[in-house]
Structure formats: structure tokens, C-alpha cells
Amino acid sequence: MSGPLLDADRLTKAYGRTIALRGVSLTVSPGEAVGLLGPNGAGKTTTVKILTGLVRPSSGTARLFGHPATDPAARTRLGYLPELFRFPDWMTGAQVVSFHAELAGVSRPDRAARVRAVLEEVGLGARGRDRVSAYSKGMSQRLGLAQAIVGRPELLLLDEPTSALDPVGRRDVRELVSSLKADGVAVVLNSHLLSEVERVCDRVVVIDKGHVKFSGTLDQLTGEGPSLHVTVGRTDEELVPALAEFGRATVSGNDVQVTLGPPWDDVPDEAAEQVAGVVTNGPWGLRGLAVSRASLEDAFVSMVSRGDT
């Protein structure tokens, strides 16, 4: 479809006298990964529940694939991993995923093969016949991911998908999200692990106290893209022009800061190699070079610590 797969407009939600959301707007397009960030109690999970039709907003609208989020037909194209979930202990992992495949409309002839493929994809290929009661927290989290993608959703909502996973599991989730994006699947990732968001998301939306405090790219949030810190043996008036093709260069003593511009800002490591070659082949003498990336954590903490909205 043309236009966003998900379109939330000025969502508000009140639980009695407690206001959970205050005019939250959000759009997600095909093949896009959007990180939903915010401190505990900011309204992230309430937003996700409204988008899945589990909670009705006090005002505003939420649409999936052009239909109201409460429309069951729209939700058949949606995959969802909630923050807190439990599967029946007496079922096997394969039975859990098969049940969700049936709910997602996977035909009976295709179901068994699809279940096997999905369990393999999340790293449970050898444990599908085991009962859920024998699963560790990390295995249960992988099973939750399996049920979320078994119906081949066009939009995937992941609420803290790496909360119980070890570093290997978190890497597997990153690779899974990247693979889904490449196939045109849109992903909304709600996570407190900012390093995971940095690695897989195209945009971020920061919610604090029910308000959207920021919506945009990571570079827009951090205020700048990657840069290079270069230490040279000597400087002269030719140094800055020699580095101009890489971005904006400023000199302080024997230190040079190069704020990378396009296209080098997308390949900072390659830019570092090229800059090293320029400096080494010139009269300046290369003494040191480091790639510097602005911290999402610093920008996020600074933003949610402020009282403005």
C-alpha cells in the first residue's frame, strides 16, 4: 500500500486522573525500523497497546494499513511481541508457534514447514519438541519472537524483545530485524537498550511523561554525525583544504577535528582510511586518528532530564 503502514495521530489516554498519553503522533513506513524510547512510565507500552487494539485511546486515532487499529482484519498483517507474556507450560514450543500460525491464517498444508523454519530462524530448531516448562527465560523470549513472525507480518511491534537475552541472543535479534527490514517489513522497537536501537533503527521517537519530545533520525537527535579526531606532527594553511572533501575541518594546535559530510558520514571507517592516506602522504605527519560517534545515551538522558516538552 502507498503511505504509512502505521499512522497514529494525537493519541491521548487517561486512566482515571492519571494521564498516560498527551497527544502522541507516530508514523511508520514499509521497510522502516523505528525505535520507541522513553523512561519507565513514559507511555511507550500504552502506545503499543493502542496500536495493537488492546487499549482504546481517550482521543486521537490509530490506523494500521489504512484501517482502524481495532479492526481485526488490519491486525492479521501485524506481528506483536508484548513486554510480558506467558505460554502454557504443558505445550511444546512447536505447538505454541503452530497455534499462533493458525491464528495468523497460515494454511494447514504450509503450517508445519513454516513452524520449523521460524523455530530455526530464532535459534530453537533443536528445541521445538521440548515443553515450554523446560525453557529458560532466553528461550521463552526467542519463542515469543517466533510467534510474532510466524504469520509473515508486514508490520512488527516488538516490546522489549531483548530483555532476557544474552549477547548472542541480542545479536540474533538485530540480525533478524535487519533481515525483515530488507524484505520490506516495518518494525517498531520499544527498548531500553539504546545500543540495540542505534544499530538497527532508522528513526527514533522519544516519549516522556506522555509527550513526544523528539521524532527524527539518530543524527538529528545526537546533533551531529560521526567525526574524525586527527593528531598531526605539524600544521599549515594547506591542511584544512586538503581535508575539505571529507567535511568540515577545524584545527586546534596539532589536533584536527573533521566533522564528516556526505557521503563519508555513512562510511566513517572508510573515511578514516582515506584521511590517514591524505595526511600521511602530505607534509603534516600522522600521529593519531580516531573515529568519534555522538552518544545516543547522552542525548537521550539529556532530553528526558529536561522539563520542557
* In a shared domain, residues 237 and 288: yes
* In a shared domain, residues 238 and 210: no
CA gap 196, 216 in Å, rounded = 17
Whether residue 235 is contained in a domain is answered as: yes
Whether residue 140 is contained in a domain is answered as: yes
Which candidate, 4, 132, 9, places its Cα nearest to that of 60? 9
* In a shared domain, residues 79 and 152: yes
* In a shared domain, residues 181 and 237: no
* In a shared domain, residues 48 and 124: yes
Domain final position from 221, 256, 278: 221
* In a shared domain, residues 188 and 161: yes
Whether residue 299 is contained in a domain is answered as: no
Ordered per-residue pLDDT tens for the chain, 309 residues: 567 899 999 999 999 999 999 999 999 999 999 999 988 888 888 999 999 888 999 999 999 998 999 888 888 889 999 888 899 999 999 999 999 999 988 999 999 999 999 999 999 999 999 999 999 988 999 999 999 999 999 999 998 888 778 888 888 888 888 888 888 899 999 888 787 888 888 899 999 989 998 898 887 787 666 789 999 999 999 999 999 999 989 998 999 999 888 888 878 889 999 999 999 999 999 999 998 776 677 778 777 765 544
CA gap 6, 155 in Å, rounded = 8
CATH of the domain at 249: 3.30.70.1150
**What pairs with residue 80 in β-bridges?**
157
Whether residue 255 is contained in a domain is answered as: yes
Whether residue 305 is contained in a domain is answered as: no
Domain final position from 187, 221, 255: 221
* In a shared domain, residues 205 and 72: yes
* In a shared domain, residues 232 and 211: no
* In a shared domain, residues 209 and 239: no
CA gap 230, 67 in Å, rounded = 53
Residue 279 identity (one-letter amino acid): V
Question: How many domains does the chain contain in total?
Answer: 2
| Long-range contacts, stretch 106-109, CB < 8 angstroms, 24+ apart | 106/150, 106/151
pLDDT the model gives residue 309: 46
pLDDT the model gives residue 8: 94
- Is residue 161 within 8 A of residue 176, CB to CB? The reply is no
Interior CA angle at 76 toward 9 and 179, to 5°?
85
Whether residue 215 is contained in a domain is answered as: yes
Whether residue 307 is contained in a domain is answered as: no
Could you tell me the pTM of the whole model?
0.75
Domain final position from 202, 221, 240: 221
Which domain covers residue 240, as residue numbers?
Answer: 225-293
* In a shared domain, residues 104 and 250: no
* In a shared domain, residues 27 and 140: yes
Cβ-based neighbour number of residue 200 at 10 Å: 20
CATH of the domain at 112: 3.40.50.300
pLDDT the model gives residue 306: 59
* In a shared domain, residues 183 and 266: no
Whether residue 113 is contained in a domain is answered as: yes
